[in-house]
Structure 1
Amino acid sequence: METVIGTIAGILTSVSMIPQLIKVLKEKDVENLSWGMIAVLLIGVSLWVVYGIMKNELPIILSNGFSVLVNTILLIYYFKYKNQ
């Protein structure tokens, strides 16, 4: 049961920013988006990846690695669209 809950939590956390990324890509608008929130989240999930590596926990590494990817892309597009 512990593994199931952890897996579900990892999946939900990993995909949580995808709707925001899709919205930014469609609308090319980041006016109401906080780059600070994305940056703090990116640091947090990056640290989870490091923790997962230290503990040799593949589910933690994969789920948070995916979050790093999504949030990095979102941050890149934030700075691309912020003055448009």
Structure 2
Amino acid sequence: MDTVALSAVIGSAAALITTLCWLPQAFKIVRERNASSISAPAYGALAFGVALWLVYGLMIGEVPVIAANAVTLLLVLVILGLKVRLG
């Protein structure tokens, strides 16, 4: 496998893992109806950083960056919303 193909595989794997890693936290909060252990400031900062990555992806027109960060932002905002709703 050449370097370009390998970098695409590594980048795709990294994007998939870091995008989906928020699902277990969201499921746990919904299942337990408790978000007290979640840090709102940390998740707020994370949401802001991911939003900036999304804007960057839009500016450079890179679909993988856009897709990964759009999904991540959605999941992080769901977790933040659950934090506000459930405490």
- Is this a same-fold pair by TM over 0.5? yes
With the length of structure 2 as denominator, give the TM-score of the two structures: 0.91
Deviation at 1:30, TM superposition (A): 1.1
Cα distance in 2 for residues equivalent to 1:11 and 1:44: 18
Q: Which has the larger radius of gyration?
A: 2
**Where has structure 1 moved over 2 Å in runs of 4 or more?**
none
| 1:13 maps to 2:53 | no
Cα distance in 2 for residues equivalent to 1:39 and 1:17: 14
RMSD: 0.7
- Which segments of 5 or more consecutive residues in structure 1 lack a partner in the other structure? none
Cα distance in 2 for residues equivalent to 1:11 and 1:41: 17
With the length of structure 1 as denominator, give the TM-score of the two structures: 0.94
After superposition, residues 3-82 of structure 1 pair within 5 angstroms as 3-82=8-87
Between the aligned residues of both structures, percent identity stands at 30
- Which segments of 5 or more consecutive residues in structure 2 lack a partner in the other structure? 1-5
